[in-house]
Structure 1
Amino acid sequence: MALTTDEIMQLSLDLVEWDEVPADSTIYVPGENIESALVGIDLESPEVQLAEREGYDLVLAHHPAGERARLDFPDVLNRQIEFMTDHGVPESQAEDAVADLRERVELGAHSANYRHDPSVAELLDQPYMNIHLAPDEIGRRRFIDVAEGIGSESSVAEFVAALEEIPELAAAETDVEIRVGNGEHELGEVAVHHAAGTNGGADVARAYFENGVDTLLYIHVGAGDARELREAYEEKNLVVTGHIASDAIGLNALIDALEERGVECTPISGCSIGRA
């Protein structure tokens, strides 16, 4: 059956049992009677033009492309504090750990041309939206299930091997990497730091490590952050699953749900990873 953009956004919320649309997800150009969608991790003005030319009813991106989803993006970073405090990090320390990241995101959003991609979609009257946090939450829960499934007494290498059984990670050109620590370490307490806007860098990792977390999972990390953590925490572990492959986990679940409701989806820009 044909859907509206509002119904598609609601579908994404239903998949994770949420009531409110997150700050990093929005509808730029609404649409009705949607029976086909071009779906990808990064779909911007060139892909909007492609979709209009090829007759797609909707452009559905994962990463934020404009307006509210970029300008309000810092609000999503509050989840980083929530995740840290859930693992015993004092709230004041968690807030300090996120402070620099929040400032960088806020300043970056303020300088970005948030009207560029939506204005192209408006000119072409091409329905266009992005859904970011809910698919990432699906991926986060999958990673938690893997960690709980093998248990804290397993090795980090066994954790990596179990993660690599996830179809999207198995099919990716990137590998699951141990950026800090080594595979022989015991897994211990695991924190999955995903579905909070972006990774927390060295500051957030340090807060986890100093409050009892033994193994931290990010989907990506910068070289400088990884180097700093390796020098300071030889007995701790940072496992990185790969940005695009990890994003594809939740997007594939959303695509499956859309196709079950009759929307024909064409996955591009990374979200075809791991699809049968």
Structure 2
Amino acid sequence: MGLTTEEILQISLDLVGWDETPADSTVYVPGEDIETALVGIDLESPEIKLAHDEGYDLALAHHPTGMSARLDFPAVLDKQVEFMTDHGVPEDVAEDAVADLKSRMDHGGHSSNYRHDPSVAELLDQPYLNTHLAPDEYGRRVFRDVADEMGADATAGDFVDALAEIPELDAAETDVLLRVGDPDNDLGEVAVHHAAGTNGGASVARAYFDHGVDTVLYIHVGAGDTADLRAEFANEDKNLVVTGHIASDAIGMNAVVDALEDHGVECTTISGCGIGRDD
């Protein structure tokens, strides 16, 4: 007897001990008796059709594509404020730092075709869901463990090297990069800014740096944000470590695949999922 889509979504939440489904995760098309799944970081209309044509019981994506997971996405950005205040950033400063991002995500969701990919799955009667924040939280905890194991005299370069030993990051075609700072800089206090919807850009990193954090970890960052931070903090020994988007997402999604297989669901990984995973 296979699983339902709701049970599969809950399995992803169980990895981090959560009971409530985050705003960026949802079941688009429900299904029952699921015994096989096509699992990827990005599964959109072509991959939904692929799952249908190849006879998979479920298309399981990481990134949200529509409906409430797209329209309500700004709600998960409140995690950014939580992470910043945990590191001593005043709440009003943290809220200001993320305000523009929340507005852009709100406007983007409102203008998006939030029905596109889900409607394809509906037409094909292809069970389809995405789970985003919980797998990212799993990955954040992996990064946090690495940061917490660094010695008091560790450098930014030491941290980059330690992160690169995580199987998914080691196997990836992207590298762990020090986008801002010098490898010989003291590592100092580390803020792992992941599992908050997306990266916080220059404004969030600036808020951390201005309030005593020495090193910020993002999984991806824009070139303009990097340039702004390099110019502003060139002489202040601050560090921005970027681990790589897809490889970092694969950490949590690989854990989801492992959990599903433990429950008897046969998974095929594509679209970045499966990087560095022992089959």
Secondary structure of the residue aligned to 1:150 is coil
> What does residue 270 of structure 1 align with?
272
Quick one: which amino acid aligns to residue 41 of structure 1? I
| Helix, strand or coil at the partner of 1:96 | helix
1: distance between equivalents of 2:190 and 2:151? 10
SS at match of 2:267: strand
For the residues of structure 2 that align with 1:4 and 1:52, how far apart are their CA atoms? 17
Shift of 1:213: 0.2
Displacement, 1:150? 1.4
Which amino acid in structure 1 is aligned with residue 177 of structure 2? Answer: E
Q: How many residues align?
A: 276
8 Å Cα contact 1:218/1:239 also seen in 2: yes
Distance 1:255 1:151 in 2: 33
Q: Does the 8 A contact of 1:190 with 1:217 survive in 2?
A: yes
Q: Who is 1:32 aligned against?
A: 32
Q: Distance in 1 between matches of 2:98 and 2:215?
A: 19
Letter of the 2:5 counterpart? T
Counterpart CA distance in 2 for 1:192 and 1:144 is 6
Cα distance in 2 for partners of 1:77, 1:198 equals: 8
Q: How far is the alpha carbon of 1:31 from its aligned partner?
A: 0.4
Distance 1:116 1:99 in 2: 28
- Which TM-score applies when normalising by structure 1? 0.99
Name the residue aligned to 1:75: 75
Partner of 2:10: 10
TM-fit CA distance, 1:275? 1.4
Please state how far the C-alpha of 1:130 moved relative to its aligned partner. Answer: 0.3
Distance apart, 1:4 and its partner CA: 0.5
The list of structure 1 runs, each at least 4 consecutive aligned residues, that deviate by more than 4 angstroms after superposition, is none
Question: Could you tell me which residue of structure 1 aligns to residue 251 of structure 2?
Answer: 249
CA RMSD, Structure 1 to Structure 2 (Å): 0.7
- Contiguous gaps of at least 5 residues in structure 2: none
Does residue 165 (structure 1) correspond to residue 155 (structure 2)? The answer is no
Give the drift of 1:153.
2.3
Deviation at 1:272?
1.7
Aligned to 1:42: 42
Residue 179 (structure 2) aligns with: 179
SS in 1 for 2:149: helix
Question: Which residue matches 1:149?
Answer: 149
Q: Which stretches in structure 1 are left out of the alignment for 5+ residues?
A: none
1:51 maps to which residue? 51
Q: 1:107 is matched with which residue?
A: 107
Aligned to 2:188: 188
The match for 1:120 is 120
Partner of residue 237, structure 1: 239
| 8 Å contact from structure 1 (residues 219, 243) kept in 2 | yes
1:81-139 Cα distance to aligned partner (Å, 9 max, x none): 00000000000000000011011100000110000000010001000000000000000
* Alpha-carbon distance, 1:2 to partner: 1.1
Residue 263 of structure 2 corresponds to: 261
Distance 2:126 2:164 in 1: 37
Residue 39 of structure 2 aligns to a residue whose secondary structure is strand
Q: In the aligned structure 2, how far is the partner of 1:8 from the partner of 1:91?
A: 35
Q: Which amino acid in 2 is paired with 1:51?
A: A
Q: Which amino acid aligns with 2:131?
A: I
SS at match of 1:16: coil
> How far 1:194 sits from its partner (Å)?
0.2
Would the aligned equivalents of 1:66 and 1:118 in 2 still touch at CA under 8 Å? yes
* Aligned-partner Cα distance in 2 for 1:134–1:219: 15
Report the residue type matching 1:251 in the other structure.
M
- TM normalised by structure 2 equals 0.98
Contact 1:146 1:162 in 2 (8 A): yes
How far apart in 2 are the matches of 1:155 and 1:238?
A: 12
User: How far 1:19 moved relative to its partner?
Assistant: 1.3
Q: Deviations over 1:181-240 (max 9, x none)?
A: 011011000000000000000000000000000000000000000000011112100000
Distance verdict in 2 for CA 1:152–1:78, change over 3 Å: farther
Amino acid in the other structure paired with 1:147? A
Cα distance in structure 2, aligned partners of 1:67 and 1:46:
18
